[in-house]
Amino acid sequence: MSTDTIKTFATADDLLALIQPSSGGRVINDPATGEKVGRAPEHSVGDLNSAIEAARAAQEGWAALGHEARIVALNNAADAVEASAEALAVLLSREQGKPLNGPNARFEVGACAAWLRATASFELEPEVLVDDEGGRAELHYRPLGVVGAIGPWNWPMMISVWQLAPALRMGNTVVLKPSEYTPLSVLALVHVINTALPENALQVVSGGRDVGEAMTAHEQIDKIMFTGSTSTGKAIIRSSADTVKRITLELGGNDAGIVLPDADPKAMAQDLFWGAFINTGQTCAALKRLYVHEDIYDSVCEALVEVAGQMPMGVGLDENNVLGPLQNEAQFNIVSSLVQEAKDSGARVLVGGNPDAEQPGFFYPTTLVADIDNANPLVTQEQFGPALPIIKYSTIDEAIEMANGLDVGLGASVWSSDKAQAREVAARIEAGTVWINKHGAVDPRVPFGGTKQSGYGLEFGVEGLKHLGQPQVISY
């Protein structure tokens, strides 16, 4: 596909017209207003089986195209996403709730194009492991076959690209199963990407949990890329056991941030805020519990309250807003009850904690909770919403022990004016990524994955490509 043949979709309605079934389907409502966005097809396990069969038939031809042709296809897909970026962002905003503005819907669509391009650019050359008088051994990465990708509702487009781009790059074909809460975003994105790909290299099955379950047990799926909750991850490990499937699990997190006593509260407040509240807190690697040294505890709380007051929350299509609603009622109820429990325990709400019952939509206000016990459920459970507990500590050992005290370890951060000291603390934290003076900043070139019950397997970069290939040694 050359640049002049790129198809541009001007509006979200243009995209909806292409992806909605002619009748019936699941009605998807805007979480900010309750208004209908559109209808998504309700695909069945039978539809999944047909898609897998078609993916299997297409895989050999896709692999045979070779790396160069697949690189061109992924770059063309990135062009196509960019050409329809605003229509995609508006649809995403209406379905997911996240605002167009700020690090939200437009940012997510931009990241889709960036990840497609970056993934196209990585090279995974065969490695020569041994080459001496005794012989030669080479390590190659072959396509696995058909990859099943199952995604969540928080960053539905971007996470789909994280899964599909390396899978396609390595010569696999892909069947995606989006979250039942946000299927329209993924259907539209795949429609756009597919303008640059051969038929059946990439398909979407828009179904519920039963379809996800069937995918993970299916004999003709060679690998599952899963991003979602830890409990679903465990169910997938069980259901994929009989076929000894390869799986990458990007699961829940409860990331700790540790603010050392030498940090500058005012200088870091904005970055701390976005580390916790990006996507209104509905982010796997968001800062979900903040440990602050007692010497600067009050000034950090004060600085965060000030920043929180500058961040408007509201309907996503209003350009003023940078925070949106929770995506669904179940998530709203989780956040509400965790904050209520924290209040009942005597914790101090600095701001928020009082949703407006009259307001339509699943809006929960930006909430900061101080003087909270480390054993409180708002600290120990993944709130996945705009409510940050701030815990006071006295010694660094105590802070590290609290940070490492949970059975998850996706990301973490250390905040300090002294990078060397921050690095020493970082090395003692049990998390897949530890950021210094920032939180949650992912990069397509840098591997990302969890420790403990936050999952296993790596995404992004050349390491990510390796997880979508079958290693094969040739020895002679």
Q: Is 95 a catalytic residue?
A: no
Least distance from C-beta 433 to ligand NAD, angstroms?
11
Residue 344, φ and ψ in degrees, nearest 5: -60, -25
Q: Which of 95, 213, 250, 459 is catalytic?
A: 250
Q: What span, in angstroms and rounded, lies between the C-alpha atoms of 119 and 113?
A: 10
Q: Using DSSP, state whether 176 is helix, strand or coil.
A: strand
Instruction: Read off the DSSP letter of residue 468.
Output: T
Q: Which of 82, 284, 430, 459 is catalytic?
A: 284
Token pair for 156: 């539905």
251 versus 300: smaller Cβ distance to ligand NAD: 251
229 versus 299: smaller Cβ distance to ligand NAD: 229
Least distance from C-beta 61 to ligand NAD, angstroms?
28
| Contact indicator for 276, 406 with CB cutoff of 8 Å | no
Least distance from C-beta 439 to ligand NAD, angstroms?
14
73 versus 410: smaller Cβ distance to ligand NAD: 410
Q: What span, in angstroms and rounded, lies between the C-alpha atoms of 82 and 93?
A: 16
Q: What span, in angstroms and rounded, lies between the C-alpha atoms of 260 and 347?
A: 22
The closest residue (CB) to ligand NAD is 212
| Contact indicator for 126, 140 with CB cutoff of 8 Å | yes
265 CB contacts (<8 Å, ≥6 apart)? 259, 296, 299, 300, 302, 303
Give me the residues that bind ligand NAD (CB under 6 A), please. 150-154, 159, 177, 179-180, 208-209, 212-213, 216, 227-229, 232, 235-236, 250-253, 284, 382, 384, 410, 450, 455
Token pair for 135: 């012989």
Q: Which of 97, 62, 75, 406 is CA-nearest to residue 256?
A: 406
Q: Is 127 a catalytic residue?
A: no
- Secondary-structure percent of the chain, ordered helix, strand, coil, rounded to 5: 40, 20, 35
Least distance from C-beta 280 to ligand NAD, angstroms?
13
Strands 287-293 and 387-393: parallel
Least distance from C-beta 166 to ligand NAD, angstroms?
14
179 versus 185: smaller Cβ distance to ligand NAD: 179
Q: What span, in angstroms and rounded, lies between the C-alpha atoms of 66 and 226?
A: 26
218 versus 392: smaller Cβ distance to ligand NAD: 218
191 versus 452: smaller Cβ distance to ligand NAD: 452
The label of the residue with tokens 């934290």 reads: 429
Least distance from C-beta 162 to ligand NAD, angstroms?
8
| Contact indicator for 348, 370 with CB cutoff of 8 Å | yes
Which residues are designated catalytic? 250, 284
